[in-house]
Structure 1
Amino acid sequence: MVFLGLNSFELEAFSDSDYGGASLDRKSTTGGYQFLGRRLISWQCKKRTIVANSTTKAEYVAAANCCGQVL
C-alpha cells in the first residue's frame, strides 16, 4: 500500500497477484487499483507473458506495476 498526502485527499494504491493461477499455462495474473480520496481513479489487471518462478517474484511484479501506475 502506498500513501501520498495531497491536501485533503490521500492517494492509496493496492496490488495483488495470483501466482500460477492460469490452469493451462501456469502464468500469473497481476492487478492493482488506485484511489484518490474515496474515488477509484485507475485499475489494471494483466496476465503476465512469462511464468514467475515464485510467489515473491509475482508479488514484486504486481507492486512494481502498481507503483509505475501511481507515478
Structure 2
Amino acid sequence: MNIPEKTFLLYAEESTINNDLRPFLNRKPEEALQAEFCSDYQEKVVEAYPVEKDGKVLLPFRRIFFTLYCI
C-alpha cells in the first residue's frame, strides 16, 4: 500500500474525534465551540506524536496477536 504516513495520523484524528471524543463534543452544542475544541485537540495530537526523522508518525495502538490451535 502506497499511502502517505500523514494520512494515517489524519485518519486516527478523525476516528478519535468521531468516536472517543463524541461525548465531549455533545456537551458543546454550538458548532463554533466544537470546531475550537477539535482544533485544540489536533494541536495537542501533533505535539504528542511528532514527525520522526524519516517523516513517519508513530501512533501507539495496542495490538494483540495470537493463534489458536484445536487439538
TM surpasses 0.5 = no
Q: Which has the higher helix share?
A: 2
Q: Which has the higher strand share?
A: 1
Relative contact order, higher structure (CA 8 A, sep 6+)? 2
Q: TM-score normalized by structure 2?
A: 0.39
Structure with max Cα Rg: 2
